[in-house]
Amino acid sequence: MPLSPRSPSTSPPKPPSRRERNKQEKLERIVAAATELFAERSVDEVTTQEIADKADIGAGTLFLYAKTKSELLLLVQNSTYADALVRGKQAAEEITDPLEAVMAIVCPVAECNRKHVDNGRTYLREIVFGDPTEPHHREALGLSLQTEEAIAAVLQRDGSTTAQDAAERARIVSAIVFLTMTTPFNVASPVDDVVQKIRDQVRVLLPD
């Protein structure tokens, strides 16, 4: 009787080491501390020593996770941006109207960016002008790309828009969002007004 071939053994995933667990736990404390302090004050007013003290770590340890306050801001904002994007994509799945579906993606992103206006504007400037080789900056760029891809997917639903045209329009929507949220003219505007300005511009861009 022929022997059946042996299926490859699948070993269970290795649990994280104590060092890895400690590293993750410190990262979570840093994010929590920076999130709380940045919610209260602008990134320029918060010191790295304050963040280190609140996270109960040394300043030297803090710089192992982020070398500058800008990197710390990226670390914090990336987390809220990622959550907002997930919510927006889920909401867009239930909406058939292209404009409303695009705005369902954009709104949570705009709202999380406006929780602290100065920090939100600094975050967007860091995405454009920061060091793309820095890991937190690279993650932010990836989130921006994911947002454009989600918008492009919405614009292709009708079957009449090519992938290239959808991608170009999604890039323009991204530029609209960036400029509307960073312009000094909108610094004092409530988030609902900012979202309405974005909607008005996107509506003109989309085909009837």
Q: What's the domain count of the chain?
A: 2
Q: Residue ranges of the alpha helices (H) in the chain?
A: 18-40, 48-55, 59-65, 69-93, 98-113, 117-129, 135-155, 163-182, 191-205
Q: Is residue 2 part of a domain?
A: no
For the four alpha carbons of 62, 54, 130 and 132, in that order, the dihedral sign comes to positive
Q: Is residue 4 part of a domain?
A: no
Q: Is residue 1 part of a domain?
A: no
Tens of pLDDT along the chain (208 residues) come to 444 444 455 566 677 787 788 888 998 999 999 999 998 898 999 999 999 999 999 989 998 888 888 899 999 999 899 999 999 999 999 999 999 999 999 999 999 988 889 999 999 999 888 888 899 999 999 999 999 999 999 999 988 899 999 999 999 999 999 999 999 998 889 999 999 999 999 999 997 7
- 113 and 184 in a single domain? The answer is yes
Q: Is residue 48 part of a domain?
A: yes
- 88 and 174 in a single domain? The answer is yes
Q: Is residue 143 part of a domain?
A: yes
